């Protein structure tokens, strides 16, 4: 039995609306190519009343940020009895909260950069003392935002206030993280398996919003375990032992958070080959140029095939749940 009627939820009410529209349109096009009956809903409120007017087998969530990745839309869909792609309510809430995520990593014994959390109600001098204790440079991040929005690196205590003001635009709480110099790696997870590793090489200091969506100079290298002599190839290199360690760590992070179906795990590898987890993205970007689709392509999975597999996984898990309910009743 296969699903037929798919709704793609995109747009949304968060600061990542523009990115979500790109993801949703790409997913819809791919699912149509894969043979599904697809309709799209541009989500502009938290009720999504259009859901009540359609027969839906699976809702493909292409919403980012608030009411997308934070468990809100997942809760709404469950209340309506609609199956949806990706992680459930609890895992979505956990992964969206950078502080809760880091605490989860630490409790599981997984390395993550040292940090403190601060609020806009604290005095600047108090926050400065925390930063000095951590040691410059530090990275400032809104605790509940994605797509590298509001992030900055502070190398000089005198510009700390400017970075805080930027981050506080997206919430009253900010995480201040010890800066780790090294290579930035991202690893997609699909059906509880790690996809090929991608190394991100921005042309600027770090992978900020502009580097992610506007700067054509950002490089995305498919990492291989055999050194390549031809520098023109768009590949990176990790020895097999480190490659396996990174993939295992990503899969462990995915499971610790409680993710389902798919995710994307971001990490850093410092100059001594230590890995540090940054975050788990429960709904990463879904355009053909996004990182999860790039990793899937490196594994031989086309973009339409990726979207179809995610829908099929969701539908099959729903059937399993229904059968278990019947057997237990």
Active-site hit among 208, 264, 290, 308: 264
Residue 273 annotated among the catalytic residues of the structure: no
Contact 314, 82 (CB under 8 A): no
Q: Which residues pair with 84 in a beta bridge?
A: 59
Catalytic site residue from 150, 266, 276, 308: 266
> Quick check: is 317 catalytic?
no
Between CA 173 and CA 74, with CA 146 as vertex, the angle to 5 degrees is: 100
Active-site annotation holder among 213, 224, 302, 312 = 213
DSSP helix/strand/coil, 152: strand
Torsion sign over Cα 77, 80, 83, 88: positive
- Let me know: does 138 contact 305? Beta carbons within 8 Å: no
Greatest distance between any 2 Cα atoms in the chain: 64
User: Under a CB-based contact definition with an 8 Å cutoff, are residues 53 and 67 in contact?
Assistant: no
Active site residue 285: yes
Give catalytic status of residue 279 as yes or no. yes
Catalytic residue among 11, 16, 71, 290: 16
16 annotated active-site:
yes
Asked if 44 contacts 38 with a C-beta cutoff of 8 angstroms, the reply is no
Q: How many helices (H) and strands (E) are present in the chain, helices listed first?
A: 10, 13
Q: Tokens for 19?
A: 């990115």
Token pair listed for 193: 């398996």
The β-bridge relationship of strands 219-224 and 235-237 is parallel
Burial (CB < 10 A; 0-12, 13-18, 19+), residue 30, is buried
Least Cα distance to 306 among 316, 324, 325, 292 occurs for: 292
As annotated, the active-site residues are 16, 147, 213, 264, 266, 279, 281, 285
């Amino acid at each position: 039995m296969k699903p037929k009627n798919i709704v793609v939820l995109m747009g949304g009410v968060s600061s990542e609306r523009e990115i979500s529209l790109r993801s949703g349109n790409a997913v819809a096009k791919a699912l149509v190519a894969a043979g599904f009956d697809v309709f799209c809903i541009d989500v502009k409120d938290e009720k999504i009343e259009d859901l009540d007017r359609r027969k839906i087998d699976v809702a493909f969530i292409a919403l980012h940020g608030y009411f997308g990745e934070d468990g809100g839309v997942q809760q709404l869909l469950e209340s309506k009895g609609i199956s949806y792609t990706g992680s459930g309510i609890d895992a979505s809430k956990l992964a969206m909260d950078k502080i809760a995520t880091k605490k989860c990593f630490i409790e599981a014994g997984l390395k993550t950069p040292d940090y403190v959390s601060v609020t806009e109600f604290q005095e600047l001098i108090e926050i400065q003392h925390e930063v000095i204790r951590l040691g410059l440079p530090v990275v400032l991040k809104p605790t509940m935002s994605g797509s590298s929005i509001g992030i900055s690196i502070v190398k000089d205590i005198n510009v700390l206030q400017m970075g805080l003001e930027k981050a506080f635009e997206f919430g009253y709480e900010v995480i201040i993280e010890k800066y780790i110099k090294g290579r930035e790696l991202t690893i997609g997870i699909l059906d509880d398996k790690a996809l090929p590793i991608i190394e991100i090489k921005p042309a600027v200091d770090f992978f900020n919003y502009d580097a992610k969506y506007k700067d054509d100079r950002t490089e995305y290298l498919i990492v291989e375990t055999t050194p390549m002599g031809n520098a023109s190839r768009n590949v990176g290199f990790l020895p097999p032992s480190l490659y396996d360690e990174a993939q295992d760590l990503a899969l462990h992070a995915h499971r610790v958070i409680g993710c389902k179906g798919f995710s994307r795990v971001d990490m850093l590898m410092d100059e001594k080959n230590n890995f540090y987890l940054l975050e788990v993205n429960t709904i990463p970007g879904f355009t053909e140029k996004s990182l999860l689709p790039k990793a899937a392509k490196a594994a031989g999975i086309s973009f339409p095939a990726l979207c179809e597999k995610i829908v099929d996984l969701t539908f099959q898990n729903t059937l399993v749940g229904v059968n278990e309910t019947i057997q237990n009743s």
